[in-house]
Amino acid sequence: MTRVEVLVAFFDDAWSGASESVQFALGDLTPEEATWQHPAYAPEQLWPNMPLPGSALWHIAHLEHSARHYLHLLRYRPLVEEPSTPPPNTLTLATLLEQLQRSHIDLRAVIAALDEEQLMEPCARAMKVGEFIAMVIRHDTWHAAQIIVARRLYRCAQPN
């Protein structure tokens, strides 16, 4: 396997692996569960046009927003100054999940189209393309884990 193929495989695993993936974290998520906010997040600043901080829906919206932002950074590299990427245009679970899927597919296509030499080119945030893609993969896994924790907290807060 080439380094690009390895990165794409890791990207796919972070998205849809049997465990510890975004799809695993989102399995059977209900709208009520998605919008629930643990009291520990109540003091957090609400971002404009974003769901409640700490909610599973916030993490989904953040992942969708990030995928579009990362796509731009990879397409228009090297970038010294990052552009402003607007937040998602919806706060409903079903639509956000559709947008996240679409953004993820677009980002994957750009990563899969890279050649080996491009992995060493400058990208953004003082990272080369390969380093940047590794960060993107870690970012997806990080938020998948946070969604799993938010869901556990929600279940524990519900009366038996």
Q: How far apart are CA 94 and CA 156, in angstroms?
A: 24
Over the stretch 32-88, which tens digit does the pLDDT of each residue have?
999 999 999 999 999 888 999 999 999 999 999 999 999 999 999 998 889 999 999
- pLDDT at residue 149 is higher than 80: yes
Mean pLDDT of the chain: 96
pTM of the complete model: 0.96
Which fold does the domain 3-39+52-157 belong to in CATH? Answer: Four Helix Bundle (Hemerythrin (Met), subunit A) (1.20.120)
Question: What pLDDT was estimated at residue 57?
Answer: 98
The structural domains of the chain, with segments of one domain joined by +, span: 3-39+52-157
Strand partners, 127: 124
Q: Select from 70, 64, 136, 71 the least CA-distant residue to 93.
A: 64
Record the tokens describing residue 39, joined without a space: 């009291």
The string of DSSP codes covering the chain is: --HHHHHHHHHHHHHH-SSSSHHHHHTT--HHHHH---GGGTTSPPPTT---TTSHHHHHHHHHHHHHHHHHHHHT-S-SSPPP-PPPS---HHHHHHHHHHHHHHHHHHHHT--GGGGGSEEETTEEHHHHHHHHHHHHHHHHHHHHHHHHHHHHHS--
